[in-house]
A and B are shown apart, each in its own frame.
Chain A
């Protein structure tokens, strides 16, 4: 990914020299045309066309914002309800993610969405111990959300 961005940058600079214009607009046009050329030649690279990965990063951000909003509302409901009818608990969740930054990102996303909190990560980075505010009605649903986060992260790193 980094290599393709660097190449796109260099192609934009090449374009500025061809046009003999050192303006920002020339650079932007050159960058867009360079992206077009890299897209045309995308199968000569070992990794995917980097703009796809950019899109999956944006998708991950949108998923995060949606989950943040929804689970904050869920917490609000629990806080405002007159009876404290919740069942907290800790469950183990196995993850398929391997590299350090992926596990860190997943743990942070789980922690930042209220209702769940990552307590510990096993020493081989395979199991996350998650504290859930209300485990009774949520365990299945939370697993679903996890897989949506995990899937989105996998799409970014693939």
Chain B
């Protein structure tokens, strides 16, 4: 018998936004506080898993048309790219740089190329977690 999941689905719609925002917070907190690409990525895939629990696999695949295998590849490209980028400035592989940037409204920003590497970690974690879960879910 199919039960009516309206309560679960409605709550999921609200909660998943809060989880995704918190995942972004954790991701950007990584430099000075606990957090970073790995937990941020896991939290993001946690939000998608919640969607998978509330809806079925087809609905989520239609609503988020992302091939998570490609996400892993893009993440790895980010990581390698930041490593190779250091060659352009004639420094060893994976040397990171940082700088201050002042933007009119946002104020002073402390930008670090390690964030780009972290985006790579984030995408790879989201991609591999979702690939594992979706592959297991689709198998009969």
Chain A interface residues (CB < 8 Å from chain B): 7, 11, 14-15, 18-19, 23-25, 28-30, 33-34, 36-38, 40-41, 43-44
Provided the pairs A19-B25, A43-B63 are in contact, do residues A14 and B18 lie with their beta carbons within 8 angstroms? Answer: yes
In the docked arrangement, what's the CA distance between A41 and B23, Å?
Answer: 14
Enumerate chain B interface residues (CB-CB to A < 8 A).
13, 16-18, 20-22, 24-25, 62-64, 105-107
Q: What's the Cα separation between A15 and B18 when bound, in Å?
A: 9
Docked-complex contact B13 and A18, CB < 8 angstroms: no
Q: Chain A residues with Cβ under 8 A from B20's Cβ? A: 37, 40-41
Contact between A44 and B21, CB atoms less than 8 A apart: no
> Per a CB cutoff under 8 Å, which of A11, A25, A38, A43 touches B62?
A43
Beta-carbon nearest neighbor of A8 in chain B? B17
**Bound Cα distance from A14 to B18, whole angstroms:** 8
Known: A37-B20, A40-B64, A44-B63. A28 touches B106 (CB 8 A): yes
Q: Tell me, in angstroms, the Cα distance from A15 to B26 when the chains sit together.
A: 11
18 sample A-B contacts, Cβ–Cβ < 8 Å, listed by A number: A11-B21, A15-B21, A15-B25, A18-B21, A18-B22, A23-B107, A25-B105, A25-B107, A28-B106, A30-B21, A33-B21, A34-B21, A36-B24, A40-B20, A41-B16, A41-B17, A41-B64, A43-B64
Tell me whether A37 and B21 are in contact in the complex, defined as CB-CB below 8 angstroms, given that A25-B106, A28-B105 are known contacts.
Answer: yes
Report B20 CB to chain A, min CB distance, Å.
5
Complex Cα distance, B40 from A33, in Å, reads 14
A19 to B22, CA, bound (A): 10
**Whole-angstrom distance from the CB of A117 to the nearest CB of chain B?**
43
